[in-house]
């Protein structure tokens, strides 16, 4: 009887240890193979476009942009806005549950319920690492424009709650979709005009050729 009780307590301890998650643990690397490989990510791209189209200043907006480098490595972005104030690479996600994570970690967590036995969690690839793939390619392509600022923005739709939100350092922002307009406007207010209309068109043409 005592052995059974010990086994039950050990099972509970191991379950809680496995289910626990530290959003500031940069070594955390668990993932759901099925979700990463076979499940299509839900996005809020249309809501993002509705917000970006009316913003002030000359701009070009690209969607589902995918770039491949000389080694065959591919990076993509749901939305890219080339604006007078810089280049904005935007990840779009619309997940239920509570989303949280460390901007430096490999995976973020999606929590549905809390409790001892009812909790349900999934692990999402860090959206800033998703953006970094295409940002690295862009910075290489535009190395003749080293002064050009880049912004990596992860936007999450209304299906869930974003617990990790705000400025994440190094021109990175994690935002609920309703906070995107104010964040972009704030960037515009604090930045000078880096690109003229002809520069924006030229950058866009170079991206489309890639």
| H helix or E strand, kind and range, residue 174 | strand 172-176
Rounded to whole angstroms, the Cα distance separating 192 from 155 reads: 24
Nearest C-alpha neighbor of 59 from the set 209, 194, 165, 208? 194
pLDDT score of 180:
93
pLDDT score of 57:
86
pLDDT score of 120:
72
Residues sharing a CB contact under 8 Å with residue 146, sequence separation 6 or more, in sequence order = none
The CA–CA distances, whole Å, from 112 to 19, 115, 147, 154 equal 12, 10, 42, 20
pLDDT score of 121:
74
| H helix or E strand, kind and range, residue 117 | none
pLDDT score of 118:
60
Rounded to whole angstroms, the Cα distance separating 59 from 39 reads: 33
Residues lower than pLDDT 70 in the chain:
1-2, 4, 6, 8-41, 69-73, 113-119
């Amino acid at each position: 009887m005592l052995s059974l009780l010990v086994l039950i307590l050990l099972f509970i301890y191991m379950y809680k240890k496995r289910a626990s998650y530290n959003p500031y643990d940069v070594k955390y690397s668990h993932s759901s193979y099925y979700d990463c490989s076979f499940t299509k990510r839900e996005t809020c791209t249309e809501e993002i476009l509705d917000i970006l189209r009316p913003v002030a200043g000359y701009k070009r907006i690209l969607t589902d942009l995918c770039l491949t480098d000389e080694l065959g490595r591919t990076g993509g972005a749901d939305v890219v806005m080339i604006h007078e104030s810089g280049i904005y690479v935007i990840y779009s996600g619309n997940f239920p549950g509570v989303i949280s994570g460390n901007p430096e970690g490999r995976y973020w967590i999606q929590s549905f319920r809390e409790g001892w036995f009812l909790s349900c969690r999934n692990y999402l690839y860090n959206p800033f690492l998703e953006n970094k793939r295409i940002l690295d390619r862009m910075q290489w392509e535009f190395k003749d424009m080293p002064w050009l600022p880049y912004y990596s923005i992860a936007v999450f739709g209304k299906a869930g709650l974003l617990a990790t939100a705000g400025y994440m350092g190094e021109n990175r922002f994690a935002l609920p979709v309703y906070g995107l307009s104010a964040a972009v406007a704030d960037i515009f207010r604090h930045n000078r005009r880096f690109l003229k209309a002809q520069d924006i068109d030229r950058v866009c043409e170079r991206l489309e050729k890639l």
